[in-house]
Structure 1
Amino acid sequence: MPSIFAPPAYTQRVLRRELYLFSLYRLLEASLLALIVFGPGEALIGEPRDAALATAACLAYVPAAILLLVWSRRTDTRMAEVALVGVSSDVIAATLVSHAIPQAVPGIALMLVFNLGAAALFLRLQASLAVAAFASAAMLVEFVWSRVGGGSADRPLAELLMFIFSFFGMVTLTFLLGERLRASQDLADRRGAQAEGLAGINELIIRRMRTGVLMVDGTRTVRLANEAAQQLYGETDHGLEGMGLSEISPELATRLSQWLRTGEPDDAPMPYGCEKLEVQPRFTRLLQDSDTVLVFLDDASLVSRRAESLTLSAMGRFSASLAHEVRNPLAAINYSVQLLAESPDLPESDRRLVEIIHQQCQRTNGIIESVLGLARRERAMGEQLELVAYVRRFVDEFTRTMSPENGSLRAAGRDRPLPGVFDPGHLHQVLTILVQNAINYGRLPGEPARITVAAEERDGRPVVEVTDRGPGVPDAIASQLGRPFFTTSEHGTGLGLYIARELCRSNGASLDYVPVPAGGACFRITLAARNPLLAGGSP
């Protein structure tokens, strides 16, 4: 059950400061009473009725005020308790001094009214009214005590009633005003916390965006740059904040000036940063009448991959539909050719033609299967892989199903762990295509294939290489590798390397052919940068 002394929740620091000022004011009151009692008080208010009682009250009240001042400075105490004890001591001291010095009753009562009102700021309404009732009872007891003693003939009852009403009115008014002020302060604190939280969230979102953001003021100086803008720019000795836009990118500064002058944006890709990455700039004013501009920098390669992914997705759906339409008549042709080949009356010259038709049906069916596989390709789900261990597992798995007559397959590369981001299923499919191509085409005549799969790090980026010791790829053909349906074999479909390259692109990686000086061919998978802001992946 909540205590009646517990103040409403609002700024504790402000409350404790007010409590300290209240205790300091109490010490000032006690010092003033002591000055009246121990100083030339008779000249100001006349001779006291009971000098001993006044002296005792002052000797007790001054140390009590000092203790309450010290107590109010402690942060581990309940403020309501300090206020309650303090106002109770005020009532007792005021009652005793009023009886000892009747001439000071009006001034003491007014001081007590202020103390009761100040205490109501720290108490609940019930406690505040209880304190006012205690003060009224004390004043009433003192009035009766003085009348019984024969010294209150000059004090009318109306004065006492006015003070009592003042006590209750002051604590009620002060409590209500304090409640309203506390509610307003609490609302302001909540709104301020919400605004601060939203500002923090907005800053976090901006800083973690994949799109680079620069905030440029009227002097073309960068005031804010998020992480993506910094990483697109490259390594610098310090951040981009405080640098001039023309110093960062003269062309970007020129485009901004053109946009401010004409209002027509030029969003063509442009080089940006130390590595001259292609970015697409976009501009917008921070406020309608502000000269501060937000510059958004989109990585052109990511935009291109998104557009290419959408195009390939549409082409994949169309190709899958077309492949289904071709498969049924192709199956009928193939079945008819098989029946024709089984005919005993088929001349030997025609049997060779039937074999050619059957081979081409098988090749066309392989193309259809590859197209359907490409159309069914799922979205890349990049994961953090340990590439050295992944390559070894792949080699062990592949060699269990590989015929010894086809050649040898081994894992190579470094022994230290090498992290990289790639969809594990897609990487398995790409390596399978590359190794199968090496088995079919990467061998010298009369010799088995010798294939190596290695995980290495080149230029700070992880790579996976599939190398064979075959005849290599002629320069005229190397430029055509990866084009759909391009093949030099009558049994190939021309889609294997194309599918492998598209899978790499969807994971933010690249697949390149690298000649081997000593003979052979090497296909290198260069994985995306490990930074999550620049590792694109499939959109």
Structure 2
Amino acid sequence: MNRTDAASTFVPSWFQPSDHGAQAPGDTHAQSFNRLWTAFMQARVLVAVVLLGLQAWVNTMAGSSTPWLVGLTAAYLVSTLASLRWAPRSDGGRRVDLRWIWTLVIDITAFGCLQFFQQGNFNYTPLFVLPLLLASVLGTLLLSLATAAAVTLFLLFDTGWNLLSSGAESTTRLLQTGLTGTGFFLVALLANQLALRLAREEALAQSSQRAARTQARVNELVIEGLSEGVLVIDQQGRARHANPAAEAMLHTEGVPVDASNAVDLGSPQAWQAVLQLVQRTFATGTAMEEEVRLDLGQGVNRKLLARTHLTGQHGEASEHLCVVFLEDLREMEARVRTEKLAAMGRMSAAVAHEIRNPLAAISQANALLDEELQAPTQRRLTAMIGQNAQRLARIVDDVLNVARLEPGMASTGQGPALPLDLHTHTITHDWAQQNGCQPLVEVRAHCPQVHVGFDPEHLRRLLVNLLDNALRYASGTPACILVSTVPVGLHRVRLSVWSDGQPLDAGVRRHLFEPFFSSESRSSGLGLYICRELCERYGAHISYQRSLLEQRDGNEFAVDLPRLNRLAPQA
């Protein structure tokens, strides 16, 4: 979703880059220096052109006796052009830089010669302001004061020389020169301080812009990641912005909604309910909340909770927008169901604990009864009772294992060092024999020397749960289940169970590792949840992904385990 950058209305100046990209402070400072440098160099070229024209006119029309001044101004023009074209740029540091200080020497020398050898009533004293400003704005305070001192000393020397040459005594002219020098010092000081102030303000503005740009990006990421839909609608009923959740709810994934591609909510009939709510919000000027139903066609219906808020106060002359928050009521109901299931799980744990002892008594009585019976039909009945009692016992154990709080082995350091490949082979072989599916399972172990900190019985429970789940959805062809171990970097190892089953539904994938969730009616829905709990106890991580293996798509459950440096205990 595109956003309008707040910095787009910023007017560039000498102290601010014209682009709005993120730049380092040193880069922007150097750019500011280079823009000022270019401006001063252009001013020097303009002054040189005017001086050359003036000297040429004086030499031609007034019959000047100093034609070499024309050559001086021409040479000065060439030097200014060279400075504009080839002079090196500074890195923007506020220090004396010998790479451009020679421009000050050239300016003071050129203007000093014109002032000293002037003809007629021309006064070139104001030209000294140019090098003075150049030193004050681009240099340090010391450099600007030194430049003002050099100019003042020259003016005093020029005035004294003229007075000695004419033989006259004029305190007024000396006083005027002194005042001019004092003015140069004041100009140098004020210009330098103003330049420093502007540089500080520039740095502060750039820092504020970077912070605002970062905050705007954070806001975009937060809004885009919200499960709640966000719409921004103007008074004409056009959607200016929409986050991905809102686009999905309004079924507009193929039509991106942004400031440059506003969508008219009045065109599709399905969006009329949202548009009417927005219109009432604009009319009343108050926030509103209402349930709306959208018929998006092709059998797709959505029931949404819409909440509206205005960006401005009611009755303001400026245009304001309406922000609409959309929440899918199905998701709300799903969360309520999840909370109910969690409460039912806690209650189930209490019930399982209560029925464990009676169930053990039933199993024991059934075993004693089975020893006394001889008729085949009666023994079949006791076998059925025993099988179902064992199934109930497994369900009770699952529920109690979920509810039981045990310390994590990773935190206590009590996990024994197990050779991963050896135990993977043993557990998989035993499971395949018990289920009579040896041709369906293949083991590829690639970590012969790797040991993991895992309780043997917990590792067996983890792997058996994953194998049971894989067998339930596998195709039943040879090698449709693959158990593998591979190293992952220097500190972890991966144990994965892959099967060639069909892809899981998106709704199932979201709740895979939640307790009491299962797509099978005869399952307790605790297998994968117990796997996740066991992994967390030992610092491992379990995940699901759809992966390609030997040109076959399948479901893969991968467990990333921390590997140990210590060896397995000897038997």
- Superposed CA deviations along residues 204-229 of structure 1, whole A, max 9, x for unmatched, are 33233333322211111111122333
Deviation of residue 175 (structure 1)?
A: 0.7
The CA deviation at 1:173 is: 0.9
CA 1:407–1:361 in 2, change beyond 3 Å: closer, same or farther? closer
Aligned residues: 430
In the alignment, what sits opposite 1:93? 110
Residue of structure 1 in register with 2:218 after alignment: 201
Alignment check: 8 A CA contact 1:8 1:182 kept: no
Aligned to 1:188: 205
1:222·1:244 contact (CA, 8 Å) conserved in 2?
Answer: yes
1:157 to 174, 184, 199: 174
Residue matched to 1:307:
336
1-structure distance, mates of 2:435, 2:223: 58
Equivalent residue number for residue 129 of structure 2: 113
Q: CA deviation at 1:125?
A: 0.8
The verdict on how the C-alpha distance between 1:343 and 1:128 changes in structure 2, with shifts beyond 3 A counting, is: same
Q: Give, in whole Å, the separation in 2 of the partners of 1:256 and 1:376.
A: 51
- Conserved in 2, the CA contact under 8 Å of 1:316 and 1:374? no
Q: CA deviation at 1:243?
A: 1.9
Question: Measured at CA, do residues 39 and 259 of structure 1 come closer, stay the same or move farther in structure 2, by a change above 3 Å?
Answer: closer
CA–CA separation in structure 2 for the residues paired with 1:238 and 1:355: 63
TM-score (norm 2): 0.59
Distance 1:273 1:254, change over 3 A: farther
User: Which one-letter code corresponds to 2:339 in the other structure?
Assistant: L
Distance 1:148-1:200 versus aligned 2 partners, 3 A rule? same
How far did 1:456 drift? Answer: 3.8
User: Which shifted more, 10-19 or 77-86?
Assistant: 77-86
Q: Conserved in 2, the CA contact under 8 Å of 1:337 and 1:357?
A: no
Q: Which residue number in structure 2 is paired with residue 130 of structure 1?
A: 146
* Residue 347 of structure 2 corresponds to residue 318 of structure 1: yes
The corresponding residue for 1:287 is 311
Query: How far does residue 305 in structure 1 lie from its aligned partner after superposition?
Result: 3.4
Correspondence for 2:236:
219
Shift of 1:176: 0.8
Q: Secondary structure of 2:501's match?
A: strand
| 1:242 lines up with 2:262 in the alignment | yes
Q: In the alignment, residue 455 of structure 1 is paired with which amino acid?
A: G
Report the RMSD for the aligned CA atoms in angstroms: 5.3
Q: What does 1:236-275 correspond to in 2, within 5 Å? A: 238-240=255-257, 241-246=261-266, 247=268, 249-257=271-279, 264-267=288-291, 270=294, 272=296
Dislocated runs of 4+, deviation >6 Å: 41-44, 76-79, 338-344, 351-360, 394-397, 425-428, 458-463, 500-504
Q: Is the 8 A contact 2:292 2:306 kept in 1?
A: no
For 2:236 and 2:55, the matched residues in 1 are separated by 71
Comparing 118-127 with 136-145, which one deviates more in the overlay? 136-145
Once the two structures are overlaid, the 10-residue window that deviates more, 17-26 or 264-273, is 264-273
After TM superposition, the structure 1 = structure 2 runs for residues 464-483 of structure 1, keeping only pairs within 5 Å, are: 482=520
Residues 272 and 203 of structure 1: CA distance in aligned 2, closer, same or farther (over 3 Å): farther
TM-score normalised by structure 1 residue count: 0.62
Q: What's the CA shift for 1:100?
A: 0.8
1:162 is displaced (CA, Å) by 1.5
Alignment of 1:58 with 2:73, yes or no, is yes
Deviation at 1:168, TM superposition (A): 1.2
- Higher-Rg structure is 1
User: How far, CA to CA, are the matches of 1:457 and 1:354 in structure 2?
Assistant: 40
Q: 1:124 Cα shift?
A: 1.0
Q: CA deviation at 1:199?
A: 1.6
Distance change in 2, residues 1:22/1:501 (3 Å): closer
Gaps of 5+ in 1: 1-6, 379-393, 413-424, 443-450, 464-480, 484-493, 510-524, 528-539
**Which structure 2 segments of 5+ residues have no match?**
1-24, 314-318, 407-423, 443-460, 482-498, 510-518, 532-541, 545-553, 557-571
Query: Which deviates more, 269-278 or 303-312?
Result: 269-278
Alpha-carbon distance between aligned partners in 2 of 1:244 and 1:427, rounded to the nearest angstrom: 54
CA displacement at 1:172 relative to structure 2: 0.5
CA contact (8 A) 1:271 1:278 kept: yes
Q: What are the Cα deviations for residues 176-195 of structure 1, in whole angstroms up to 9, with x where unaligned? A: 11111222222222212221
Which residue pairs with 2:8 in the alignment?
A: none
Whole-angstrom distance in 2 between the partners of 1:355 and 1:21: 100
Q: How does 1:512-531 map to 2 (within 5 A)?
A: none
- 2:6 is matched with none
Match of 1:513 in 2: none
* Deviation sequence 1:66-122 (CA, Å, 0-9, x none): 3233346x76787966763333222112221222127557x3122213541343111
Q: Matched residues in 2 for 1:461 and 1:366: separation?
A: 27
Please report how far the alpha carbon of residue 37 of structure 1 lies from its aligned counterpart in structure 2 after TM superposition: 3.0
Query: SS state of the match for residue 296, structure 1?
Result: strand
Please name the residue that 2:399 is paired with.
371
Q: Which string of whole-angstrom CA distances, capped at 9 and with x for unpartnered residues, describes residues 476-502 of structure 1?
A: xxxxx955xxxxxxxxxx5x2655799
